[in-house]
Structure 1
Amino acid sequence: MNRIQTAFQQKKNLLNMYFTAGYPSLHDTLPLAQALVDAGADILEIGMPFSDPLADGPVIQRSSSVALANGMNLPVLFGQLQALRAAVPDTPVLLMGYLNPVLQFGVETFLQKAADVGIDGLILPDLPLDEYEETYHPLFQKYGLKAVFLITPQTSETRIRRLDALSEAFLYLVSGPGTTGGTTLPDVEAQQEYFERIAAMNLKNPRLIGFGIADKKGFDHACSHADGAIIGSALIRALEDVEDAPATAAHFVQVIKG
């Protein structure tokens, strides 16, 4: 059993916290990871900055631009993550990013490096499912890494069941249309129907809801429809222009967890 599965078996209402590696400053990655876990985060999702992040809204896009300007890249990140498991020994940690930098780095080399530093899974929203199943799934298995797939209100039942069969982690339910950190109010009735439809499918993997969750009320609402929630943009926004990023991140989690 991997750390992700263990977390879902041991806890309810899991909080998955996203932050961008190398933001606000280059060397904040590990201090933020430790502060978030110490404050109560159940899963960490570390964003790999990329110049063209298609699923990310302006807040995370801006944090990626700052991180890249700070000097963050994959070799630097893997160097920082050498000390990851000394800082957070038991918490599931995911890397979230886009396929292009992984391809440039070399897919198997990337997966091996991720496994070596103790990463549990990957979220690559632009990885084609056919390509994953035919080419990369055996490599993920070789290195003990779990793929996390996104589901939207428009995803067909056939595709959802295929994603569920291919995953051994959790399914990432995108709460509605748009990118991360959106401020448009959702269609509550349509969202309710979406969450209930997914729940009725009795999928084998647990579910976390993300996109647009910014506070304790949103977290609690997501937990009423799934196994927990993912928060990213709201934390990134809170970290802008602060003197002590780890302390700010810790306070943010404490407020969400109540």
Structure 2
Amino acid sequence: MNRIKQLFNNKAGKKMLSIYFTAGYPRIDSTIELAKTLETAGVDFLEIGFPYSDPVADGPVIQHSSEEALKNGMSLDLLFQQLKELRQHVQIPVLLMGYVNPMLQYGVERFCKSCAEVGVDGVIVPDLPMYEYEELYQDVFRKYNISNIFLITPQTSEARIRKIDELSTGFIYMVSSFATTGKNLTVSEQTTAYFERIKALNLHNPLVVGFGIADQASFDHALTYADAAIVGSAFVRLLDQEDYLEQIPSFVERIKGSVAV
């Protein structure tokens, strides 16, 4: 059982928070430092983005961080080199998030093997088609015990959601709206109806809400219907501050609404 499954099996009513940041931003060597600081601050699991020049699902904040990370020299080869010391410092689950082209260029089996070697537990690749994963890559992911995380949106059909639930081995990423990252979650009748519809399906896998979680109100609303929520753009904005490491504990506390545990 990998760390993702262990985390959700031991949830016991805990308010679960994930933070996304882009590898190589704000500095080329920020990755391990940020991961350590976020775990200490009480974050439950991490999503580390590997930058790509054409990020179709990302809003301007994360796009900018990817552009700067690439300028800084970040690549998958360098990221895996940096992550060799990950498990010396970080115990919580860690996922990589990015796009399929860099993964294909690196080699899918080599990518999964590298993830396993450095202690990465899962990956989120929004533009990896489900049928390609099932037909071409599922056995490779499972060989290395790497969870592939699928995304669903308000437009995803029940049949597709059921299929995703069948293929998933970690959690299901519930995109809060049909938009790019960085748009604040609007607590509306439409959003609530979507959350209620998915919760009523009684899926086997945990649900994690992302896109638009930026404060305690949106975090708490998401957790009414899901097992965890992800903060991305709001955290990446924080990294523009010179004292971002010192601000991380209070940032996490503001989202969770209590002292991080």
TM-score (norm: length of structure 2): 0.95
Secondary structure (helix, strand or coil) at the match of 2:174 reads strand
Equivalent pairs, count: 255
| Matches for 1:11-160 after TM superposition, within 5 Å | 11=11, 12-89=14-91, 91-160=92-161
Which letter maps to 2:75? N
Per-residue CA deviations over 1:81-140 (Å, capped at 9, x if unaligned) read 000001112x11000000000111111111111110000000000001000000100000
Does the 8 A contact of 1:96 with 1:123 survive in 2? yes
Per-residue CA deviations over 1:135-187 (Å, capped at 9, x if unaligned) read 1000001111001110100000000000000001010100012100114x637
Secondary structure (helix, strand or coil) at the match of 2:30 reads helix
Per-residue CA deviations over 1:8-41 (Å, capped at 9, x if unaligned) read 1222321011000011111110000010010010
Q: Matches of 1:162 and 1:53 in 2, distance apart?
A: 26
Does the 8 A contact of 1:78 with 1:113 survive in 2? yes
Residue 244 of structure 2 corresponds to which residue in structure 1? 245
Which letter maps to 2:53? S
Does the 8 A contact of 2:23 with 2:51 survive in 1? yes
Which letter maps to 1:236? V
Does the 8 A contact of 1:32 with 1:245 survive in 2? no
Residue 222 of structure 1 corresponds to which residue in structure 2? 222
Which letter maps to 1:143? Y
Matched, 1:6 2:6: yes
Q: Matches of 1:251 and 1:49 in 2, distance apart?
A: 27
Shift of 1:215: 0.8
Secondary structure (helix, strand or coil) at the match of 2:104 reads helix
Runs ≥4 residues deviating over 6 A: none
Shift of 1:247: 2.2
Which residues of structure 2 form unaligned runs of 5+? none
Q: Matches of 1:191 and 1:18 in 2, distance apart?
A: 22
Does the 8 A contact of 1:8 with 1:14 survive in 2? no
Which letter maps to 1:18? Y
Q: Matches of 1:13 and 1:155 in 2, distance apart?
A: 26
Secondary structure (helix, strand or coil) at the match of 1:26 reads coil
Residue 213 of structure 2 corresponds to which residue in structure 1? 213
Secondary structure (helix, strand or coil) at the match of 1:27 reads coil
Q: Matches of 2:192 and 2:71 in 1, distance apart?
A: 41
Which letter maps to 1:52? D
After the TM superposition, which of the residue ranges 69-78 and 9-18 deviates more from structure 2?
9-18
TM-score (norm: length of structure 1): 0.96
Q: Matches of 1:146 and 1:62 in 2, distance apart?
A: 27
Residue 195 of structure 1 corresponds to which residue in structure 2? 195
Q: Matches of 2:230 and 2:151 in 1, distance apart?
A: 12
Q: Matches of 2:124 and 2:100 in 1, distance apart?
A: 10
Does the 8 A contact of 2:37 with 2:245 survive in 1? yes
Secondary structure (helix, strand or coil) at the match of 1:44 reads strand
Which residues of structure 1 form unaligned runs of 5+? none
Q: Matches of 1:70 and 1:25 in 2, distance apart?
A: 7
Q: Matches of 2:52 and 2:103 in 1, distance apart?
A: 11
Residue 234 of structure 1 corresponds to which residue in structure 2? 234
Which letter maps to 2:176? S
Does the 8 A contact of 1:28 with 1:245 survive in 2? no
Q: Matches of 1:252 and 1:71 in 2, distance apart?
A: 28
Cα RMSD (Å) of the superposition?
1.1
Q: Matches of 1:187 and 1:7 in 2, distance apart?
A: 27
Shift of 1:250: 3.0
